[in-house]
Amino acid sequence: MESKTFWECNKAYILTALGLGVVGFVFVGFLMIMDWGYLIQFTLHAMMGDTSGVMSAPTSELEQMVNAAFGPAYNTVAPEIIRASNERQEYIWYVFFAEIMIFVFLYVKNGRITPTITRPDDMVQVLTPFQRTVIWLNIGMIMMLVVTGFNITWSLRSEGGDIPRLLREFHELTGLAWISIWLIFTVIAAKDLKGWRKNTTFRHILPGSFKPSKRGIWFFYAAMGAGLCFSGAMIITLHPSSLTHADVIQFRRVLLYLHFGASVLIMFFILDFVYASAVSVKGYLKGLWSGEYPREYLEQVAPDVLEDLKKAGRV
Amino acid sequence: MSRMKFYCDDYRCIDCNGCVVACKEAHEIPVGVNRRRVITINEGIEGKQKSLSVACMHCSDAPCQKVCPTDCFYIRTDGIVLHDKDKCIGCGYCLYACPFGAPQFGHEGIFGVKGVMDKCTFCAGGPDETLSESEFEHYGQNRIAEGKIPMCASMCSTKALVAGDAAEVDKIYEYRTAKRGANTSLKPYGWEAYNNGK
Ligand code: HEM
Ligand code: SF4
Ligand code: SF4
């Protein structure tokens, strides 16, 4: 009985973790040529404050010179970047295609809920100005980050030039600004972790009861965001000069890896959110802007939100 | 086919940084960007200190060219690796790929974010019209078009740094090692390690 409840309550997390585990295993085991042993050792050294990447004392003058000039173990991380950079422009489509196909499958299987609204004037104030500000800032910045970020990945199509360069520069600036939004989500996710299945602080951003499966999206969103904010901000601040090159470059190679990986993964959760809020049910975009939703819409699509508002005495 | 290469003789380099200054001066390179730098190991340890001047090595199979997402690198028939600053988006991926840390980035973009990449051109300018003002502004002098060797090598006081056709550079190298004779190893240092597959 106990275990059944546990499975039911945490199905979403377990399935997501399993799915990511399988994808990760195939990716790491079969598609990558990076030296993972070195990477793990390097990460441990970096956490102790040594980012030089030198794992063992050099045994020859040549090795010593190579370490001093170029940073060591160039081949362990770089082949991935070299190979991936142009090939991923060709192949990353397949990852997005697969991600989209999952939602197409769900759509075909589950169809779409379209609420019938007979009393369009019976409106309920759902979102406060603060909530709308956070939501729109998040939507705007994420769209900007996705477009400007993948603008870098697919530069072979744009062939570079001033506009793609400006977009890339805006990626860095928007990324730094987005850290504040990510922090809000992370604080909420951290608070929710304490209450786990009982209470959700997410309703401060989006009202509703947020069943564990629904909260899963936001936990992963916060986690992937952490990877993106950490690696992005570090890439911006840790810029090697010609003198500090050897100490910094290996670490930055790993950071770029983390950033690209997290950006592809966060796309899944962004698509999931778009699917849940606008495809699987007919969305009500106007409400996101005005904060008001027809009562019937809430009754049919989001009764938990209505319940939540009643409890708070706002309806 | 010729292949233009640099060679820095570690027996001769005295860490004077003259090549670094000459390069910056010749191409009017901004502060924070060094197309060339001198690396020293075992500094102060007698008999063990060694220095080497490093810039873009104009790799025959250049990793930077492979990684650049805008494909803005091109390799001239004489082997010099150049790039087009009008295409470059300043993503920095060439810096991740280059084993020598050659690509450089100033912070002249909006709000001081990093701008387009700059690197050693072997004093061969860039894709703009040869010896034009815009070529100088973007890439610096085009000494190769004027029939001269790169500035760094031409002013190196000990002639540790040599530049030119790989076959000619090789002759200088062979001559020097032969002349050093029994006093020093005939092999370049690191040769054993190289042969041991290290
Ligand atoms: C949803 C959030 C984000 C997404 C989807 C995203 C996506 C991307 C993508 C796709 C790339 C190109 C990777 C490649 O092709 O190798 C990239 C690069 C980069 N991103 Fe992000 N990113 C996000 C957030 C951030 C944040 C928060 C920051 C900074 C704090 C940031 C800073 C950077 C930097 C510095 C680069 C490397 C290119 C450069 O130096 O300009 N990104 N990002
Ligand atoms: S920039 Fe680096 S990788 Fe490219 S040719 Fe020069 S040394 Fe080789
Ligand atoms: S910084 Fe410029 S030259 Fe270097 S990889 Fe990016 S687009 Fe290519």
Residue to test with chain A: of B19, B65, B96, B185, most A Cβ within 10 A: B96
Position A8 in a domain = no
CA distance A140 to A144: 6
Which residue carries 């063992």 as its tokens? Answer: A56
3-state secondary structure of B164: strand
Position A150 in a domain = yes
Residue to test with chain B: of A76, A85, A157, most B Cβ within 10 A: A85
- Looking at residue B195, what is its pLDDT? 56
Position A149 in a domain = yes
Position A190 in a domain = yes
pLDDT digits (tens, 9 = 90+) for B162-184: 999 999 999 998 888 888 764 55
CA distance A59 to B157: 32
Amino acid of residue A47 = M
Whether A1 has a pLDDT exceeding 50, the answer reads no
Q: Residue A36's CB: how many other CB atoms inside 10 A?
A: 12
Nearest CA owner, ligand 2 atom 3: B98
pLDDT digits (tens, 9 = 90+) for A102-158: 889 989 998 888 888 899 899 999 888 888 888 899 899 999 999 999 999 888 888
Domain count, chain B: 1
Whether A164 has a pLDDT exceeding 90, the answer reads yes
CB contact under 8 A, B89 and A59: no
Phi, psi torsion values for B73, nearest 5 degrees: -85, 150
Whether B188 has a pLDDT exceeding 90, the answer reads no
Whether B198 has a pLDDT exceeding 50, the answer reads no
**Residue A266 alpha carbon to ligand 1 centre in Å:** 12
Which residue carries 């070195």 as its tokens? Answer: A38
| pTM for this entry | 0.86
Position A4 in a domain = no
- Looking at residue B182, what is its pLDDT? 47
Enclosing domain of residue B105: 4-195
Greatest mean pLDDT among A66-75, A242-251, A253-262, B137-146: B137-146
Q: Give the confidence band of A63 by pLDDT, cuts at 50, 70, 90.
A: confident
Q: Give the confidence band of A172 by pLDDT, cuts at 50, 70, 90.
A: very high
More confident residue, A6 or B189: A6
- Looking at residue A87, what is its pLDDT? 75
CA distance B2 to B179: 26
Q: Which ipTM score applies to this complex? A: 0.84
Please list the residues that pair with B73 across neighbouring strands: B83
Position A140 in a domain = yes
Position A7 in a domain = no
CATH number of the domain that B85 lies in? Answer: 3.30.70.20
pLDDT digits (tens, 9 = 90+) for A257-299: 889 888 988 888 888 888 877 888 887 888 888 989 999 999 9
Domain count, chain A: 1
